[in-house]
Amino acid sequence: MSNIVEMNHPIIDYYLSVIRNKDTNNRDFKKGAGEISKILFYEASKKISTYEKEIETPVSNCRVKTFNENDLLIVPILRAGLSMSEAIMEVVPNAANGMIGLYRDSETKLPVEYMCKMPSDISSKKIFLVDPMLATGGSLNYAIKMLKERGARDITVLGIIASPEGIKKIEEENPDVDLYIA
């Protein structure tokens, strides 16, 4: 069963009120979506594997916990996921990134791939798939399938708004994927 985490935080509530307001300008929308994305990423990244290493401080040597940013892969579903991935890349600027481009066929209502750019080997990466809106779950499930077909084994989805139907579909079709929703 997948891990569904619905974030409950006053800062998220504040930024949701900003981005959902019809009078919000583009700059404030992007800022709000970015701040929510960072909070989602902070919570979801609790599961990142860490290791200890010794560093030299101005006073003495000490052991610190850290992680390898190169083990992370940030993948937005275009174009809506770009503002989310840009904000996350501010936190982990050396993480790898990919992109998935999908559109919904107007007749069949099914997702259609128009682009998929990934590093050559994603099997060992901790992947954060970002998309701000989970409605029916069709496009997101398709994107997860695309990643798995390319070798992905560890996928976490970050989303801002989600419908109960979309969450249920992800849970049913991808029980091994964690889902963090604002």
pLDDT, tens only, 41-99: 999 999 898 999 999 999 999 999 999 998 999 999 998 889 999 999 999 999 999 99
pTM of the model: 0.92
The closest of 94, 74, 71 to 84, measured between CA atoms, is: 74
Q: What is the per-residue pLDDT for 104?
A: 87
The Cα 28–Cα 111 span in angstroms is 30
| pLDDT at position 158 over 90 | yes
Proportion of the chain above pLDDT 90, given as a percent? 86
| pLDDT at position 1 over 70 | no
Average predicted confidence (pLDDT) for the chain: 94
130 neighbors 77 (Cβ within 8 angstroms): yes
132, HSE (Cβ side, Cα atoms, 13 Å):
23
The Cα 161–Cα 80 span in angstroms is 12
| pLDDT at position 2 over 90 | no
Look up tokens 């569904």; give the residue: 4
What are 159's two structure tokens? Answer: 């989303």
- The secondary structure element, H or E, covering residue 33 is helix 26-44
Q: What is the per-residue pLDDT for 122?
A: 95
